[in-house]
Amino acid sequence: MEYNTNSLEENWMPFTGNRDFKKSPRLVVRGEGIHYYDHKGGKILDGSSGLFCCPLGHGRKEIAEAVYSQLLENDYTPPFQMGHPGAFDLAQRVARITPEPMNHIFFANSGSEAIDTALKIAMAYHRAKGQGQRTRFVSRERAYHGVNIGGTSLSGMVKNRETFSGVMPGVVHMRHTWDGSETFVQGQPEKGAELADDLARICANVGGSTIAACFVEPIAGSTGCLVPPKGYLERLREICDEHGILLVFDEVITGFGRTGAPFAAQAFGVTPDLMTLAKAITNGCQPMGAIAVKDEIYETIIDVAPENAIELFHGYTYSSHPAACAAGVAVQKIYDEENTFEKAAGLVDHFQKALFSLEGMDCLADIRGYGMLGAIELKPKGGPGALGTQFQKDLFWRGLHVKFTGDCGVVAPAFVATEADIDAMIGVLREALEEL
Ligand SMILES: Cc1ncc(COP(=O)(O)O)c(C=O)c1O
């Protein structure tokens, strides 16, 4: 095969219609602040913070310089039986803002790896407590927990599952919390807390003592910002406690300020046992995932192992990679110094009002929103997802990036956006929607 600088063929793109994309590519060649720039010179407002991972915007010099210096100083240290200062620094900075008593952080390289790690920590914890019979997991319809085998098994999205039949056994799904009876609700729906009782039904059916953990995104992000009904997460917490089941919040999207609080756990006042994190931990500048773990879970797994033995047989070559940790530390410093989460909280009202100003447009089936996260759901045309896919492309050429899953566009501006920037994003969206 000859090398040809302009060939698009060899790169098999993820979650992309490769044939379609390669006929009309959308290449981003630069990012700065809340804008992307495409290969034709177009300027694109980033309405989804990339994939919800860049709340500080693009091209932050402090982060780039931290990574550059780190690579010159210490580019790679094996994370097994060795360490480097950045990993301990970042773990402490993250543990400082997670809810008490979640003071231990395990590093991975993505949200998907964080999910698989959380599954294994849950199993290791129960085994350490002499409850190795807890092998089942509970998840939810419309859940997205990444794409590794563990996350695919937990997933509640048909397209992400139907091709992959041999996924992990023993996963049972609760219903999701959106039933279409309440639409255009800003914030938490009043009705639906009782849907948490699906977990109690599953316990009654398979035995609560066989279940290791229940995984939920506090706000289901990828499938279109499904905000938990009032009392729902509280009820899940109660049922988990009743049956000794670990509650895992997948905060890969909601973590680091997206809800206006550091984590959704704090925004909703419900503390899980484990939290999976990724994306904004490094502002998307380096691949990284992490699992925040309650003290008691960490101590149980650690204490049961013989002195000097490895306690958890799990880890990745790139767990706590020095460059990712350097990016993470730089990002956490900016979050502190610029009061990023408070700034996000200060933008919430304006963002939500702007988003909900689209209510009443004929082409919209629903709008949902919480914090700096929101979704518009298009009335489908030509089969589920057909319109959403086309509309996302159309928006790009109009100068707005919004991530679509099926017919839901998920809007998540960076926290460095101004109110005027948010208005500009919604303005482009409105114009495009008017033509549907
Ligand atoms: C809630 C949630 N969990 C897990 C993941 C997977 O993360 P990654 O794509 O980094 O593997 C995502 C990605 O969007 C996510 O939204």
pLDDT at 166: 75
Global pTM reads 0.98
Q: Which pLDDT value is given to residue 79? A: 98
Sole residue written with tokens 């920590």: 121
Q: Which pair of structure tokens corresponds to residue 273?
A: 């046992």
Which of 3.40.190.290, 3.40.640.10, 3.30.200.20, 3.90.1150.10 is the CATH number of 64-337? Answer: 3.40.640.10
Structure tokens at 90: 């970042």
What's the CA-to-centroid distance between 279 and ligand 1, angstroms? 8
User: To 5 degrees, how large is the angle CA 309–CA 99–CA 146?
Assistant: 70
The pLDDT, as a whole number, for residue 62 is 98
Domain 18-55+339-434 has CATH 3.90.1150.10: yes
CB 375 within 8 A of CB 412: no
Low-confidence residues of the chain, pLDDT below 50?
none
Q: Report the pLDDT value the prediction gives residue 175, as an integer from 0 to 100.
A: 98
Both structure tokens of 356: 């909900």
Regarding the beta carbon of 145 and ligand 1, being less than 6 Å apart is answered yes
Strand partners, 43: 37
**Separation in Å, CA 13 to CA 10, 25, 230, 274:** 9, 11, 39, 32
Annotated domain spans of the chain: 18-55+339-434, 64-337
- The letter for the amino acid at 147 is V
- Cα–Cα distances (Å) from 145 to 13, 119, 221, in that order, read 20, 11, 10
Contact call for residues 263 and 254 (beta carbons, < 8 A): yes
Contact predicate 315/80, CB 8 Å: yes
252 lines ligand 1 (CB under 6 A): yes
Average pLDDT, the chain: 97
Answer whether 212 contacts ligand 1 (Cβ < 6 A).
Answer: no
Tell me how crowded residue 349 is: count the other CB atoms within 10 A of its CB.
11
377: tokens are: 């759901």
| Cβ-based neighbour number of residue 213 at 10 Å | 25
The Å distance, Cα 112 to ligand 1 centre, comes to 6
